[in-house]
Structure 1
Amino acid sequence: MTFDLASLARRPITATDSAALAERLNAIEVVDVLGEYYSEEDTTDQINAPLLDLERGTVGVFDGDRMVGYSSAAHKPLAEEVHRVVVSGGVHPDYRRRGIGAELLAAGIASAKTLHTIHHPGLPLAVDVQNNALNDRARACYQAVGMTPVRWYSHMRHPLGAAIVDVPPPDGLVFEGYSADNDAEFLAVRNEAFLDRWGGGATPQEQWRAFLGWPAFRRALSFLLRDADSGVAVGMLLTYSWDADTEATGVRDAHFMTIGTHRAYRKRGVASALISHALRSAQDDGFDRASIEVDADSPTGANGLYERAGFTVARTEVRYTLNA
């Protein structure tokens, strides 16, 4: 494909770019295989995320009305010890091998530094990116700017049906479905459980509200475990399912987006019971499979937990970091 690189427009992404961003992401999925498809509604949710600074944190590259590449830097509103800014982005396959990817990565790093100066200037900055482990060109691009691999994430799938391992809740613990009445307890358990996870930290209320406002959130497949005697919420699981994925693949997938166990209740079977209950509920609701992204070095030994539950690894992604 022939085009003049200098003629491409560069500007921050705006609320009117949802359709262009969805088209670009779906074109990239065909080549990069990240397991994600997008509708315009999905990208609207991303662009309108309450903590995304469009003006200072995003750059879009356009050939006329067509978005051919973008970068987005997402800062952490709450950070301790290190401020980790996650940069995402990519280039439409038709426009690759012209230096646009390197340009956008540099723009993402620059945006990360700007956001860091505004929000957490007193902390060290780490700029993170993540991609399919098999994407050699992306790896070369990251390494060229000094990024190194620091984390590996397993994307695991469960076929449901006979593969479901039934695990009852520990004695004294009872399941509850998500509701407005226990919403705050879902968030409290999530934040407590993530305190010792790599790159973890508290999710602010504003971000939580937006996260649960996505159309992909499946309330009927999201559960809390409560200690019946003390009333304490000890574990939680949130499930999401994207219609765009189902339309593109023909597979209805229940994605366990967030699973957390209160640290005082770990090693008691809380997570195993939540997973089993959610798998059985997904099966009963007509889903074709379930999925989860797992930190391979999780302090809770999550990989083994999901393997025992019947999950297998479908692909691996690598997190790269630049200490800036």
Structure 2
Amino acid sequence: MELRFTRDGIEYNIRPATLADAEEVVALINICSQELYGKDELELDELLADWQLKGTDLKLDSIVVLADEKLIAFADLVDVVAPFVRYPLMARVHPLYRGQGFGWLINRWAQGRVEELIERAPAETRVFMISIVHEKNQAGRQLLEDLGGKLERLNWLMERELLGPLPEVWLPEGYRLRVAKTDEYRQIFTVKQQAFQDHWGFIPISEEQGFENFMQHFVQDPHYQPELFLVAESEEQIVAMLIATPASSYGDDYGWISVLGVLPAHRHKGIGKALLLRAFAELKLFGCERVGLWVDSDSLTGATRLYQQAGMQVVAQFNRYETTMRAGVDLRRLK
């Protein structure tokens, strides 16, 4: 799709994004996030990695709006995987151009794109689009509701400082922590899947597709560090895993906990907290002064309590909206 028009003496161009737009798109995303919560949301390498995920076609899965050749709005639908029922949408409009219909335009484009792809999902299953909006973005929340979106969950950004002394790591007898070996990544993926299968929103995926996604997200991450792939063992079996990075879009000294999972049989024994504290210590050695993570505020496994016990605090809230594009059987775990 490409459209040109002039309004109030300004020439507008609506077209798919290209790799050449990446720097401007990142700048726009970060202008929006700085306005709302004072942090850069994305780095250039992260966006390029997303755009090059298997199955993404920028010509079909993205849109940009330019005003006199300046990029003022953007949306994409990437990281869509089998069974093709969940479509994460990122959509942003420059603060100076809000209230002019561009947010409506790019969201309606996204809905149209999902409608084109809807038959890829299994018959009679629910197909939905996800939008994550900062709680302060009242106009964005209202727009999503006007377009049929419903508030589904609240996500928290939690963080803590790493400058002072850290609590000692304690483990019950029979467990030990260590850095994972690179040839154990498939096993770590399997533990991750088993650990999250009772979490809200979990959708089963084939092992091959899931492991490919795992490698793309965690090993091809621009900040990948093998020393921050940590595992907990019991009787020579991996029973918990944690993946972190020593930097993030929030800063070169801002570490990030990407994922933490403990097998159900080994929960409530202090294993998750031990992995978290070990990660904090490792991140501090990398020069990190602060660490953060995302968490579902209503986590069914008590993750929010674990993070609070490790000294983390909620610093921002994001609302997760879902827009049903086709009603049907919901494949996610909901309880």
Give the TM-score taking structure 2 as reference length. Answer: 0.86
Q: Which residue of 2 aligns with 1:19?
A: 23
Deviations 1:280-314 (A, max 9, x none): 22223321011111101111111111111100110
Q: Which amino acid aligns with 1:226?
A: E
Which of residues 246, 256, 277 in structure 1 aligns to 2:251?
246
1:173-184 equivalences in 2 (<5 Å): 173-184=175-186
Give the structure 2 partner of residue 111 of structure 1: 113
The aligned counterpart of 2:238 is 233
**Cα separation, 2, equivalents of 1:180 and 1:16:** 34
The one-letter code matched in structure 1 to 2:254 is D
Aligned to 2:59: 55
Give the match for residue 301 of structure 1: 302
Deviations 1:152-208 (A, max 9, x none): 111111112446332322322222213312111221111111212222234622222
Query: 1:76 offset after TM fit, Å?
Result: 4.0
> Distance between the aligned counterparts of 1:49 and 1:61, measured in 2?
23
SS at match of 2:72: strand
Distance 1:18 1:120, change over 3 A: farther
Opposite residue 220 of structure 1, the aligned amino acid is: E
- Name the CA distance, whole Å, in 2 between partners of 1:286 and 1:20: 29
Cα RMSD between the aligned structures? Answer: 2.3
Shift of 1:112: 2.3
SS in 2 for 1:50: coil
Match for 1:210 among 216, 238, 244? 216
Is the CA contact 1:75–1:115 (under 8 Å) kept in the aligned structure 2?
no
SS in 2 for 1:35: coil
| 2:103 maps to amino acid | G
Q: Which moved more, 1:194-203 or 1:282-291?
A: 194-203
Tell me which amino acid in the other structure corresponds to 2:228. L
Q: Amino acid of the residue matched to residue 23 of structure 1? A: A
Q: How many residues align?
A: 314
* Cα distance in 1, alignment partners of residues 152 and 136 from structure 2: 16
Q: Distance in 2 between matches of 1:267 and 1:145?
A: 42
Counterpart of 2:7 in structure 1: which amino acid?
A: D
Native 8 Å contact 1:18 1:47 kept in 2: no
Runs of at least 5 residues in structure 1 that lack an aligned partner in the other structure: none
How much does 1:31 deviate? 1.6
Structure 1-normalised TM-score?
0.88
**Conserved? CA contact 1:56–1:115, under 8 Å:** no
Q: Deviations over 1:120-149 (max 9, x none)?
A: 444111221111111111111111112111
C-alpha separation in 2, matches of 1:35 and 1:210? 25
Structure 1 residue 268 displacement after superposition: 2.0
Counterpart of 1:159 (choices 146, 158, 161) is: 161
Contact 2:156–2:294 (CA under 8 A) maintained in structure 1: yes
| 2:315 aligned partner | 314
What SS does structure 2 have at the residue aligned with 1:108?
helix
Determine the structure 2 residue equivalent to 1:292.
293
CA contact (8 A) 1:50 1:206 kept: no
Choose 180-189 or 214-223, whichever is displaced more: 214-223
**Pair 17,113 (structure 1): closer, same or farther in 2 beyond 3 Å:** same
State whether structure 2 residue 10 is matched by structure 1 residue 10.
no
> Counterparts of 1:200 and 1:71 in 2: how far apart (Å)?
25
- Alignment CA distance shift 1:297-1:240 (3 Å): same
Letter in 2 for 1:265: H
Deviations 1:19-74 (A, max 9, x none): 22122222222223373344432321121122434233222222354322111224
Q: CA deviation at 1:109?
A: 1.8
Counterpart contact for 2:12–2:66, Cα < 8 Å? yes
Q: Which moved more, 1:303-312 or 1:43-52?
A: 43-52
1:221 corresponding residue in structure 2: 228
Between the aligned partners of 2:57 and 2:192, the Cα distance in structure 1 is: 25
> Unpaired segments of 5 or more residues in structure 2?
1-5, 326-335
Query: Is residue 87–residue 109 contact of structure 1 (8 Å, CA) maintained in 2?
Result: no
Establish whether residue 30 from structure 1 lines up as the match of residue 37 from structure 2. no
Identity fraction in percent: 20
Q: CA deviation at 1:258?
A: 0.7
What secondary structure sits across from 1:56 in the alignment? helix
